[in-house]
Amino acid sequence: MNSSSPFAVRTVFILVIGGALLLLASILMSGFGDELSRAVGDAPAADRKDGSGYHALRRLVDAVQPPERNDKDTLDNPAILILTPTETTRPEDIKTIVDRRIALASATTGGEDFVKREGHPLMRFPTLIILPKWQTEAIPLGGGKVRRTGVVNLNRVEKLVPAEIEWHHEDRENVGVSADYPEIRPFAVPDRPLYAVKGATVEPLIGARDGAAVLGQIGSSDTFVLVDPDLVNNRAMADERNAQAALAMLRAIDPEHDGRAVFDRSLHYTRGDRNLVKLLFLPPFLGVTLALIAAAILAGIAAAGRFGPPIADARGVALGKRALIDNIVALTRLARRTARAGERYADTMLEVTSRRLLAGEIPSPERLDRIHPGYSDIDRRLRDATTEGEALAAAKDLHAWKKETGA
């Protein structure tokens, strides 16, 4: 650190590297933030133990009605597949799962032609969609507890249902089990309005007097929608009547497999939307991005040692008298004629010194000796010099002689 720079070089280096890393992290977070939030954020609703989760229902189903198959991919399991989407779930992801289940039912049975020809019923791959209802936030230092902050955006949730619907709010007294499904047991309905939907292709299993469905079947398919999750979430499962009703509901949906069910988690860990950052940092463009980053680092290293404007190239021949003399000396040395410079220098200095000290007399080393001894000896040394060093030593002595005489 010095007066012109308040920071040490190492400090500047650390700040530059740290800033570059933070910038890169910010770019990556902007591109992959949705995937990171799914991977390390809130757990899927089926695993959450707060009031809005379904951990209790999952444990109940796994204990009482576990699936006959333990498939690694739950989407291929013939048991009821329970989807627990959130407000941010993409409708196309749910549609992909529902279509896959329908295709599995057809393929497992033998195809649509076989079903039409033999009249054999399709294998069942039922799907139950439990729609979200509440927005929550974690209670600080609450040990994993949350509090409700409001209801979800119904316009977004509406798109999660694979049918045209309209929303209804029903009083608990108006809600009951459809007469066509006597095996479904009534729930202990919470003391608050229930959400329900009404649509031309939605058949209510649990509904209101006006035909709105709290639990509905989409057409004649094996896709079911539980509109209000307050019937089966962790808070509802605290009531034994709701636990029994939930198991009865699953048996009514899929009596062939005794209501066995599995919970899907793929919706929570789906890939995020595509964007430019992902395009740059995923194959096949990842190699190009890394090459550009490496080139930028190398350019920064090359420029790190340069401060101020670039230094201009020096002139081939410098300006000024001193530079002219230096050029003459350099050229004389290149021509290897410095050994002959002593005699010429002696002639020049004899003429100049005599003009000043002898007042018109004929130049002569002996006459200069009369003014101040030693000149003739220096003159002889200059004329007899065979090397640049001898000539330079004699020239220095001549300079000292001139200073003593005042010439």
| DSSP structure string for 323-354 | HHHHHHHHHHHHTT-GGGHHHHHHHHHHHHHH
Cβ atoms of 176 and 215 closer than 8 Å: no
d(CA 94, CA 294): 41
Identify the residue with better confidence: 318 or 256: 256
Assigned token pair, 220: 């004649």
Distant-in-sequence, close-in-space partners of 134: CB < 8 Å, separation ≥ 6: 52, 148, 150, 151, 152, 229
Judge whether 396 lies within some domain: yes
Does one domain contain both 296 and 348? no
Judge whether 273 lies within some domain: no
Average pLDDT over residues 204-229: 90
Does one domain contain both 24 and 153? no
Task: Count up the domains in the chain and report the number.
Answer: 3
Does one domain contain both 196 and 102? yes
Does one domain contain both 225 and 250? yes
Judge whether 3 lies within some domain: no
Judge whether 186 lies within some domain: yes
d(CA 296, CA 299): 5
> 148 vs 80, 133, 138, 287, 356, CA distance in Å?
29, 10, 9, 46, 111
Does one domain contain both 234 and 362? no
d(CA 48, CA 268): 12
- Residue 251 clears pLDDT 80, i.e. is over it: yes
- Residue 114 clears pLDDT 60, i.e. is over it: no
d(CA 62, CA 64): 6
Average pLDDT over residues 122-130: 87
User: What pLDDT, on a 0 to 100 scale, did the predictor assign at position 404?
Assistant: 87
pLDDT band at 108 (very low <50, low <70, confident <90, very high): confident
d(CA 282, CA 276): 10
Does one domain contain both 255 and 295? no
d(CA 107, CA 197): 32
DSSP states along 271-325? -----HHHHHSSTTSHHHHHHHHHHHHHHHHHHHT--SSPPPPPPSS--SHHHHH
Average pLDDT over residues 51-62: 90
d(CA 132, CA 152): 7
User: Model's pTM, two decimal places?
Assistant: 0.61
Q: Which helix (H) or strand (E) holds 213?
A: strand 213-218
Cβ atoms of 198 and 166 closer than 8 Å: yes
Angle at CA of residue 93, ends 206 and 133, nearest 5° = 40
Last residue of a domain, one of 304, 336, 366: 304
- Residue 78 clears pLDDT 70, i.e. is over it: yes
Q: Which residues pair with 202 in a beta bridge?
A: 218
Does one domain contain both 212 and 69? yes
Tokens 């899929």 belong to which residue? 254
d(CA 65, CA 257): 9
Does one domain contain both 27 and 58? no
Cβ atoms of 77 and 69 closer than 8 Å: yes
d(CA 353, CA 364): 10
User: What pLDDT, on a 0 to 100 scale, did the predictor assign at position 94?
Assistant: 92
Does one domain contain both 219 and 155? yes
Identify the residue with better confidence: 374 or 323: 374
Share of the chain above pLDDT 70, in %: 85
Judge whether 350 lies within some domain: yes
pLDDT band at 129 (very low <50, low <70, confident <90, very high): very high
Judge whether 275 lies within some domain: no
Per mean pLDDT, which of 73-77, 123-127, 202-206, 340-344 is the most reliable? 202-206
Does one domain contain both 138 and 200? yes
Neighbours of 227 (CB within 10 A): 28
Average pLDDT, the chain: 82
Does one domain contain both 213 and 66? yes
Does one domain contain both 223 and 332? no
Angle at CA of residue 100, ends 38 and 164, nearest 5° = 85
Average pLDDT over residues 122-137: 88
d(CA 343, CA 381): 9
Distant-in-sequence, close-in-space partners of 228: CB < 8 Å, separation ≥ 6: 131, 133, 194, 195, 196, 214
Parent domain of 348: 321-405
Judge whether 272 lies within some domain: no
Judge whether 144 lies within some domain: yes
